[in-house]
């Protein structure tokens, strides 16, 4: 029912546009002479061309919007791409059609084309640049509706938060740019839905000249993330640590476990490299892995609390020394 209503409404608008265009032309051709205003054949041809151009552009816009509304429920964001391509092709077809039957004199057409080209070329350079960039993006599929991408461009300022090195433990490489899902590729700009929920509209010229990181798997072999955690040396067994970490992270696709560096002489930082399964959210995987590792660290500290407090924190050593002496004497 809803789709039928969209079709009927679009057809009604197209018929109305056609009726208005025909009435304007014949009003100028028939009624104006009654008031003593006569138009030459060249003027009528020019008026006819202008009417067809504006009526055709309006009709194409109506048809494109109708296509978007018709397919939006089934194709979602891709409906915008289909509708915008229809608009571009339709407008180009209308312009070519008007140029093909126009009977303007060659001199007038040449003069008008030269002057119009100079004026429009200077005044509409950004508009035309974005328009043709949009056509190239759509035809070459530089990005597609539904893709998750990150835009790295100097024209769009992006700053990463400066964090102290002792707090910033993530070794993941962050591409400096905005990341989001392509919602619409329009004639002038492309709309991205950012992770924050906001919309980012990027002019097509900037998008086409930007570096794009595509997170939608096509030729990518795999996606990996790194998880780092700091462990006290006093509560772990270096020789058994890798085996214990693999047991803690059972069920994850572990690529490698590395001892990356030593911090404050009493801690060691391990890095776990995880492969993300196809279609899963890497944030959820990394969060769960880090949660398990932190729980493992707390369990190790609790099980060796006296040793940890003495050797790592430098407090309550009497209790640990007495316990150590008791163990030695009993053995």
Average pLDDT of span 162-172: 54
Mean pLDDT, all residues of the chain: 79
pLDDT tens, 43-82? 777 778 888 888 888 888 888 888 888 888 877 767 777 7
228-232, 247-251, 267-271, 327-331: range with lowest mean pLDDT: 327-331
Name the CA dihedral angle for 204, 205, 211, 217, rounded to a multiple of 10 degrees.
Answer: 30
**153 and 52 fall within a common domain:** no
**291 and 232 fall within a common domain:** yes
For the ranges 83-87, 151-155, 282-286, the maximum mean pLDDT occurs at: 282-286
The DSSP call for residue 233 is G
Percent of the chain past pLDDT 70, that is, above it, reads: 80
158-172, 174-188, 194-208: range with lowest mean pLDDT: 158-172
**91 and 172 fall within a common domain:** no
Look at residue 133 and tell me if it is in a domain. no
Given a cut of 70, whether residue 113 has pLDDT beyond it is no
pLDDT band at 31 (very low <50, low <70, confident <90, very high): confident
The DSSP call for residue 215 is -
pLDDT tens, 187-217? 788 999 987 888 999 999 989 988 888 877 6
249 three-class SS: coil
pLDDT band at 297 (very low <50, low <70, confident <90, very high): very high
Domain with residue 207: its CATH number is 2.30.30
**210 and 227 fall within a common domain:** no
Given a cut of 50, whether residue 238 has pLDDT beyond it is yes
**What's residue 105's pLDDT?**
46
Domain housing 277: 223-326
Question: Do 316 and 310 form a contact (C-beta atoms < 8 A)?
Answer: yes
Q: Structure pTM?
A: 0.48
Residue with tokens 């002038």: 188
**234 and 302 fall within a common domain:** yes
């Amino acid at each position: 029912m809803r789709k039928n209503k969209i079709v009927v409404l679009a057809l009604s608008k197209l018929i109305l546009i056609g009726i208005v265009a025909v009435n304007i032309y014949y009003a100028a051709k028939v009624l104006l002479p009654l008031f003593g205003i006569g138009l030459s054949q060249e003027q009528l041809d020019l008026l006819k061309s202008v009417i067809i151009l504006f009526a055709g552009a309006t009709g194409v816009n109506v048809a494109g919007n109708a296509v978007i509304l018709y397919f939006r429920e089934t194709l979602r964001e891709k409906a915008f791409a289909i509708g915008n391509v229809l608009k571009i092709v339709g407008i180009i077809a209308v312009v070519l059609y008007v140029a093909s039957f126009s009977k303007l004199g060659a001199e007038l057409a040449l003069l008008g084309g030269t002057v119009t080209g100079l004026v429009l070329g200077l005044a509409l350079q950004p508009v035309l640049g974005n328009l043709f960039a949009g056509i190239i993006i759509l035809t070459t599929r530089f990005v597609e509706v539904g893709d998750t991408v990150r835009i790295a461009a100097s024209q769009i300022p992006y700053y990463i938060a400066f964090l102290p090195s002792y707090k910033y433990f993530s070794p993941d490489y962050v591409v400096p740019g905005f990341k989001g899902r392509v919602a619409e590729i329009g004639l002038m700009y492309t709309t991205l839905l950012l992770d924050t929920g906001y919309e980012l509209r990027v002019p097509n010229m900037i998008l086409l000249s930007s570096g794009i990181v595509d997170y939608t798997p096509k030729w990518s072999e795999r996606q990996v993330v790194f998880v780092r955690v700091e462990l006290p040396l006093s509560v772990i067994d270096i020789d058994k640590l890798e085996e214990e970490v693999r047991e803690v992270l059972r069920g994850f696709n572990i690529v490698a476990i590395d001892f990356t560096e030593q911090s404050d002489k009493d801690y060691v930082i391990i890095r776990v490299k995880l492969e993300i399964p196809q279609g899963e959210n890497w944030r959820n995987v990394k969060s769960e892995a880090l949660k398990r590792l932190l729980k493992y660290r707390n369990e190790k500290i609790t099980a060796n609390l006296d040793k940890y407090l003495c050797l790592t924190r430098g407090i309550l050593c009497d209790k640990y020394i007495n316990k150590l002496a008791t163990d030695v004497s009993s053995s």
